[in-house]
Structure 1
């Protein structure tokens, strides 16, 4: 008893806010480096490596696509066998190697082509060897990022789940504050990258511009590893994809069996699920009942040693893991259109800004790409105000530790994001009419006499909306995903971002193809003074209305996962459900009896 007491006391000293500097520093440096690289990388490829525009664009698109897919692989590795800590640590080291390679390429003259002759229109492109070194470096950063992004948010939230029984009973506000802190830290990193790093790259040099994020990342890796003794480290529960596949195979094999009237006789096994249900087992729900057949026990499902055959028999907990993922998909998919609707902030809005009056004082002009800072600043302010002012006020009304639930938070963000595109449409209509009035319709490079600060509201509104939607989306994926698949769930967040960006590209292609056949002509012309970019914004706003209604329907009928609270004295208490009644429960201890539900086989 004394030994157990000392062990419990030792566990209580793990996790908590003291681990955040080590964990978030790693993620901040990842976002800082990624944003610092991407913001100006197209100029580096063209001006330093002398690549054509199309090749430079394809290089960045391929890099972005790879960086968006690797988190899925990293999450599966973490959840299957490596654990989150080691996945983050190894991923950070690989990322560091990639950054070092990019920096060395920018410093050593032998790894890039000679400068263009001042009087010659042609430039020598980078050789195959020079490009190979650069591409390998980019690939390493994409692979390393795959180990960091899906695991940091889950690993950080784990630090606030030491007392799992209390967390399932009422929830800890500290855990949800972590999600606010996570996105706040990301915003700070982006803000620093778009100001400090970009300025250094443009005005000092590429070697120093790439070198600063590389050095910062090195120290963040060291700091993360130093924090090892302080972390709560969850044991991986084996391949989640294998478990899900076993449920499907077992259910298909028993598709002709009749389901029992009493779900309490379905197969349960505490010891078998111990490693994947530390905080409590999932309880039976009445959705997707076809899968319940996987938990019907037959004579052939148990070995002579009394062990279940996993490809023939699954526990209720494992079946509910699959059900949880299926239930999450509709609300997860809402995030795709959120990204699609905002993807123009880095394309069309920049083109608008370049055509407007960007003078701030005297001859100083604001760079068009710098306007995205207003979105980041508004997101940071919203997160701070929400966490410190709004949450305490809303908590009095909702009696929730977090104030708004994550589903309510997403809904608020969706409504606000609609206003961003409405503002964009109205401003573009005014900008275009001003250009026509001043006879500038046929002069796309001319400056339209309208201040660029008219674009600030749509950027600011977008930042406010992101503080609600992105944080709420991540909270939802973390909380409703199975306990053993939370890294995979975090990877789904980045997958939605990736698909959303590709959706934005597809939307532009479709709009351009359809509208160029109309009498008014292509909405998305190279000369935006003659196009109808405002119509495009109204179309996107309409899609957001559809997405909002779709979300409300999904949220209204969403079933929260029912969970049994772990802990001896609390066993049997549940959240959002009722406990089962033993049923076909096979104990794996030696000499244990085996109680089976024998199904009537259909001929």
Structure 2
């Protein structure tokens, strides 16, 4: 990355830097508006328009969200290996627009929409095979497209800067833009979907997606494009293969016994680090590994020291990454179940306005956006003034764990109160009945989880971008998306498992025990936090400046 901001284009203008920020921010805002407008209200759409049962709709929503957050990893790998971030983001934005247009058609054309029925009625006609095919195709295209843009654009934006401080500022604004845009889509667009028409709401999603794509393309002449250098994963596999072939060879303590050239250029000579020492064999020079010209003669038998250290970096960070999966799983469960709770509660603000159930989660987005600003402008400077060092990514993630557990506990207490009121008014056997309890009771749990996200999501992105090898920068920012994707799939599996072995999650949640589900998440969160503390205490930062963390700069 060194010297990239000074790169000059053929027209003589400098590429990269803050001149790219308006275009990237405009693209992020438009694409987030487009994806947020349909994902936030998907459960309601499936229940009210496609006549699906509530738990089934929640499960489809979780699978869709999981898909949207797993595709960024595939997009990142393709960007790092073959086409670069800009090309992948542009193609993905085009695919997402196609998917949203197809979703709009399901709300527009009668042959693609099931016959309407009263909510909760047993006489509802289920969707036909054609309607299911079109619906699932539209969701698949929208997921692939939105997944391929989200964190690929994050990497492309960070790549415009050399200074880590500027990269950190960009990541804060990136998340701020996503959360504000999602908040707007979860309120304005969702309100239009619920009170005007689904066709108009989804149509607005397609239009904002097009605007985001236009911003992305218009800034192309200003972007600094990093050229992909082939698949970095091939090099990582080579390290494993070479290690296996040299398993009986004893490692050496001499620098000259290890291979340091890459593409004919000699890397800075250094002895491989002591951690995961068995992998050092992959860089150890043995007879026949290197030709007379000093280049590798057997590429699957020897690797460079840097390639070995890159694989070690992934091994070191994997336990921390895995601990964040169950950090996201409760959020996925809470997101879908909170909408189901809101559908059974009094959502009126005054005599004439009713909050759309799909908009209730906007409180989490607004809270996160506000606290991202507070953290950046007040809490971090205050922490730095008191401790004379910046808060580390691991500290931010740890605080996110604590707040997440607290939010699940609050959710359990609020649901217990809702169930008691439902029982007092004998609403258990009445599908679609409204519990006389304001949906505003859901605010505390959403606010707390939103504050937690303001700490742990940027903390995770900063950690992975900082610690991952240079060849995996796009993949590094997509790791958080992979966490979210796996978390949503786990939340789907968890809901399905609990529904099968307990009576906590019936389709009429007034007959269930959602509070027990939340307490289960509290117990799991506490255990996972203990696992995280062990992983964090053992982790040694690899790529931070000395003085920022006491563990940095070690040769372990």
The change in CA–CA distance for 1:263 and 1:290 in structure 2 (over 3 A counts) is farther
Q: CA deviation at 1:46?
A: 6.2
SS at match of 1:299: coil
SS at match of 1:89: helix
Instruction: Please report the RMSD computed on the Cα atoms of aligned residues, expressed in angstroms.
Output: 3.5
- 1: distance between equivalents of 2:117 and 2:540? 66
Given that 2:72 and 2:478 are in contact with CA atoms closer than 8 Å, whether structure 1 keeps it comes out as yes
TM-score by length of 2: 0.86
Aligned residues: 543
- 2: distance between equivalents of 1:558 and 1:481? 14
The change in CA–CA distance for 1:399 and 1:19 in structure 2 (over 3 A counts) is farther
1:229 aligns with 2:221: yes
- 1:270-285 alignment to 2 at 5 Å? 271-272=263-264, 284-285=272-273
- 1:366-515 alignment to 2 at 5 Å? 366-400=355-389, 403-437=390-424, 446-514=433-501
Q: Which runs of 5+ in 1 are unaligned?
A: 162-166, 517-521, 566-574, 580-603
- 2: distance between equivalents of 1:548 and 1:84? 34
Q: What's 1:302 paired with?
A: 290
Q: What's 1:545 paired with?
A: 526
Given that 1:49 and 1:126 are in contact with CA atoms closer than 8 Å, whether structure 2 keeps it comes out as no
Q: What's 1:79 paired with?
A: 80
Q: What's 1:185 paired with?
A: 177
- 1: distance between equivalents of 2:492 and 2:521? 13
- 2: distance between equivalents of 1:50 and 1:534? 26
Q: CA deviation at 1:457?
A: 0.8
- 1:121-140 alignment to 2 at 5 Å? 125=127, 128=130, 135-140=136-141
Q: CA deviation at 1:318?
A: 0.3
- 2: distance between equivalents of 1:513 and 1:124? 23
Given that 2:34 and 2:207 are in contact with CA atoms closer than 8 Å, whether structure 1 keeps it comes out as no
The change in CA–CA distance for 1:69 and 1:381 in structure 2 (over 3 A counts) is closer
Match for residue 202 of structure 1 among 194, 204, 209: 194
Q: CA deviation at 1:501?
A: 1.5
SS at match of 1:394: helix
* Higher mean displacement: 47-56 or 72-81: 47-56
Deviations 1:338-359 (CA, angstroms, capped at 9, x unpaired): 1111223233333333444433
- 2: distance between equivalents of 1:429 and 1:77? 47
- 2: distance between equivalents of 1:430 and 1:282? 63
SS at match of 2:94: helix
Q: CA deviation at 1:88?
A: 1.4
* Higher mean displacement: 471-480 or 218-227: 218-227
SS at match of 2:221: helix
Q: CA deviation at 1:49?
A: 6.3
- 1:238-249 alignment to 2 at 5 Å? 238-249=230-241
The change in CA–CA distance for 1:264 and 1:389 in structure 2 (over 3 A counts) is farther
Deviations 1:541-570 (CA, angstroms, capped at 9, x unpaired): 1211111111111111112225899xxxxx
Q: What's 2:549 paired with?
A: none
Q: What's 1:337 paired with?
A: 326
1:112 aligns with 2:100: no
Q: CA deviation at 1:437?
A: 4.9
Q: What's 2:307 paired with?
A: 318
Q: What's 2:336 paired with?
A: 347
SS at match of 2:361: helix
For the pair shown, which has the larger CA radius of gyration, 1 or 2? Answer: 1
Given that 1:283 and 1:577 are in contact with CA atoms closer than 8 Å, whether structure 2 keeps it comes out as no
Given that 2:80 and 2:472 are in contact with CA atoms closer than 8 Å, whether structure 1 keeps it comes out as yes
The change in CA–CA distance for 1:564 and 1:392 in structure 2 (over 3 A counts) is closer
TM-score by length of 1: 0.80
